Amino acid sequence: MIAKLTGLLDSTGPGWCVIDVGGVGYQVFCSSRTLETLGAVGKTVELRIKTQLRDESIRLFGFADPAEREAFRLLETVQGVGAKVALALLGVLTPDAMAHAIATEDRAALSQASGVGPRLAGRIIAELKDKLGALPGAPVPEGAPGARDASNRTDAASALMNLGYRSSEAHSAVAAAARSLGKEAPVPELVREGLKGLSQ
């Protein structure tokens, strides 16, 4: 079972890349968001891998970080969500933003992904809402460790949405800001950093 690949980026295409590891090229299927993080061909890259064995074939799915891989695994447990739809969802929503969309029952955010209509979005919410604890970026219950930090991120995202940004954009920007500034960053700093990211 392959869990991680580190090698040279050999080539890329719509939804896939080839990583050269010691002269062996591995085709890896990825979300558009992960592909954007890889950089130029010839660069050394590292991807977390989920290996799928099916009908005597082996398919590798690659992720920029463990959080994205875990979100992919959870999405595949939903009836009607295959690998293609799961990757489409991860292409438009970070794991943080997806957790928030599920927690707030935001079907519109989930429906941004190709192949996800309102009915499937509702099924994703229904089947994963009780599993949110396993989803990276899931809201933290009030009073639990990290609850204040989670509240700051929620407030910062709300501020960005009040400025006209979509829910998925706002939560993705705040998640990136929190990674850059640290989990304990106050709301104003998260908003400023989030706006910087959105303006790029």
Closest Cα partner for 87 from 50, 45, 55, 42? 50
- What per-residue confidence (pLDDT) applies to 142? 45
- What per-residue confidence (pLDDT) applies to 138? 52
Dihedral angle computed from the Cα positions of residues 62, 64, 65 and 67, in that order, rounded to the nearest 10 degrees: -80
**Interval 141-161: pLDDT, tens:** 444 444 455 667 777 877 887
Q: Which residues of the chain have pLDDT under 70?
A: 132-151, 168, 183
- What per-residue confidence (pLDDT) applies to 26? 95
Share of the chain residues as helix, strand and coil, in percent rounded to the nearest 5: 50, 20, 30
- What per-residue confidence (pLDDT) applies to 183? 66
Distance from CA of residue 3 to its chain's centroid?
18
Strands 44-54 and 4-13: what pairing? antiparallel
- What per-residue confidence (pLDDT) applies to 13? 94
DSSP for residue 79: T
DSSP for residue 140: P
- What per-residue confidence (pLDDT) applies to 135? 61
- What per-residue confidence (pLDDT) applies to 32? 92
User: CB of 166 within 8 A of CB of 157?
Assistant: no
- What per-residue confidence (pLDDT) applies to 125? 92
Q: Domains of the chain, with CATH numbers?
A: 4-64 (2.40.50.140), 66-138 (1.10.150.20), 140-200 (1.10.8)
